[in-house]
């Protein structure tokens, strides 16, 4: 990259002129400035206000195109906003940047129950897609605690996971077709509704999980599944981690593929939320070292109930479970899930909170968590560690609380959690993405060759670094440099 092509911020007069053109394009109500910007939060956990120069609210994919054409000509950087439920500062915007909020691109355009597809705009909340599918006797299987707020575009941009990955896969597995606007305003439409389409490169994969750095997702064709009306849910207490993993293996076989969730809570999480928080009534005693929330979905109620109950009885007989409660109603099921999903309870109890999202082979999880806890307490004796996760797909969520709430301390804690993953071929991000928060740790999970290819893709699709600049990959601040992540002092992935 030459010095002459290095991005610079637009002069105030140039930005003012650009905003006037954008008002002409979108209308006054679709260009927010001043307190209408700062009153919006960009991170639900930190409650940080938006600092962008303006927020643009296009109502159609065509308007997104026109915005990017103008911004490309002016070399104006932008940040895309969806439901703002992210946890890695991917929606943060600098004062010289513009935000493109897709909140008005919220139409469900078409549902085809025969093909099992639904076509939606990027700003549609996940819950609305789930409800539309249910009305057609179908289901959209991706499910997150933030379902009412998170949007399909954000789910795609971050390749969201959630509670049912063990059965249905990540968001990537649900996307059949996709439309995205490039940095120069060009529309790339891969909106074919066909499940089988091997006509050249599968371009939609470039944008899934790219966190808005390669293009702005505007529409998608999603895959639906038949509705599974019978849900069986149990919360079980396990005497050891070996019992947890053996239970997972047996249930996968015994339930014949109907196992849809296998969420594990370490005692640190279960006791804190179910009992000490005062926010729930404990369904089981809180003294066991591990708890598993098991859920199975089927269309055959009688057979499914019998199968599920036999599996639970077998778990007791094998000594894998020492106590259990099986939900007998939808209300009971929701109360069990509420313990697993009570992130607000964790935030209240552990503030100031540092939240982490990692993945690693299941066989190493127990040693990893023990090692992290030992390391944290050797440095900060008052440290608290709370652990739960989607164990069936190798994903752990770790919450850390330390009285020293500084950036330097945060970096030390990150080192404690991320460094051990290098030797395990683990990932610093299982489902939350990279954003700004994890960018400088990316070499732990990606090789130099992978990082170089990511850089090549970014340079090819966004040569001026206009889309979500500095997210995932660090953008050069001066001429003559390449786009490369900064490299802290730690080992690369082995």
Total count of domains within the chain: 4
Asked if 114 and 222 sit in the same domain, the reply is yes
State which of 226, 261, 280 marks the end of a domain. Answer: 226
User: Of 302, 321, 343, which one is at a domain's C-terminal end?
Assistant: 343
3-state secondary structure of 366: helix
What is the residue whose two structure tokens read 């859920």? Answer: 295
Residue showing tokens 């594990």: 264
Please give the pLDDT value at position 405. 82
In 3-state terms, what secondary structure has residue 308? helix
Distance, CA of 74 to CA of 330 (rounded, Å)? 54
Residues 424, 409: Cα–Cα separation, whole Å: 24
Q: Which residues of the chain have pLDDT under 70?
A: 1-13, 477-494
Co-location of 239 and 337 in the same domain: yes
* pLDDT on residue 9: 52
pLDDT of residue 484: 41
CA 475 to chain centre: 23
Q: What is the CATH number of the domain that holds 307?
A: 3.30.70.2190
- Residue partners of 489: CB distance under 8 A and separation at least 6: none
What's the full length of the chain, in residues?
494
Q: What is the pLDDT of residue 28?
A: 92
Q: Are residues 96 and 112 in the same domain?
A: no
Given 165, 200, 226, which residue is the final one in a domain?
Answer: 226
Burial tier of 364 (Cβ tally within 10 Å: 0-12, 13-18, 19+): middle
In this predicted structure, what is the pLDDT of residue 25? 97
Q: What is the pLDDT of residue 11?
A: 60
- Residue of 440, 416, 418 whose CA lies nearest to 428: 418
CATH number of the domain that residue 378 is part of: 3.30.70.2740
| 203 and 287 fall within a common domain | no
């Amino acid at each position: 990259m030459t010095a002459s092509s290095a991005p610079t911020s637009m002069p105030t007069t140039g930005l003012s002129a650009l905003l006037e053109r954008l008002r002409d394009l979108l209308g006054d109500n679709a260009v927010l400035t001043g307190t209408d910007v700062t009153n919006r939060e960009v991170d639900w956990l930190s409650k940080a206000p938006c600092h962008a120069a303006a927020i643009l609210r296009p109502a159609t994919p065509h308007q997104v195109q026109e915005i990017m054409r103008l911004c490309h000509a002016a070399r104006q950087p932008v940040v895309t906003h969806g439901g703002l439920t992210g946890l890695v500062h991917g929606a943060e915007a600098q004062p010289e940047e513009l935000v493109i909020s897709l909140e008005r691109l919220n139409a469900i355009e078409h549902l085809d129950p025969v093909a099992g597809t639904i076509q939606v705009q990027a700003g549609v909340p996940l819950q609305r897609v789930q409800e539309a599918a249910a009305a057609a006797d179908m289901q959209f299987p991706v499910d997150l605690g933030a379902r009412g707020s998170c949007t399909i575009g954000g789910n795609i941009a971050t390749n969201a996971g959630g509670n049912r990955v063990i059965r249905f896969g990540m968001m990537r597995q649900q996307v059949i077709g996709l439309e995205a606007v490039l940095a120069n305003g060009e529309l790339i439409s891969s909106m074919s509704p066909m499940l089988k389409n091997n006509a050249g490169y599968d371009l939609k994969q470039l944008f899934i999980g790219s966190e808005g750095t390669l293009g702005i997702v505007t529409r998608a064709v999603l895959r639906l599944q038949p509705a599974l009306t019978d849900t069986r849910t149990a919360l079980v207490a396990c005497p050891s981690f070996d019992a947890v993993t053996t239970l997972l293996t047996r249930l996968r076989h015994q339930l014949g593929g109907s196992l849809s969730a296998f969420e594990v809570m370490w005692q640190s999480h279960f006791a804190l939320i179910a009992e000490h928080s005062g926010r729930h009534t404990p369904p089981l005693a809180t003294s066991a070292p591990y708890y598993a929330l098991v859920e199975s979905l089927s269309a055959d109620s009688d057979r499914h109930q019998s199968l599920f109950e036999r599996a639970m009885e077998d778990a007791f007989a094998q000594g894998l479970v020492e106590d259990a409660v099986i939900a007998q109603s939808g209300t009971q099921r929701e109360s069990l899930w509420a313990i697993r999903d009570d992130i607000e309870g964790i935030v209240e109890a552990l503030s100031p909170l540092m939240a982490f999202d990692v993945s690693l082979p299941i066989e190493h999880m127990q040693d990893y968590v023990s090692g992290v806890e030992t390391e944290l307490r050797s440095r900060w004796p008052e440290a608290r560690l709370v652990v739960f996760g989607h164990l069936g797909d190798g994903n752990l969520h770790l919450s850390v609380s330390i009285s020293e709430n500084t950036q330097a301390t945060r970096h030390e804690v990150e080192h404690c959690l991320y460094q051990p993953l290098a030797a395990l071929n683990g990932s610093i991000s299982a489902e939350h993405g990279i954003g700004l928060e994890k960018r400088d740790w990316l070499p732990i999970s990606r090789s130099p060759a992978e990082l170089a290819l990511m850089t090549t893709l970014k340079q090819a699709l966004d040569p001026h670094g206009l889309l979500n600049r500095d997210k995932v990959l660090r953008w050069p601040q001066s001429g003559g440099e390449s786009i490369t992540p900064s490299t802290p002092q730690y080992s690369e992935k082995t």
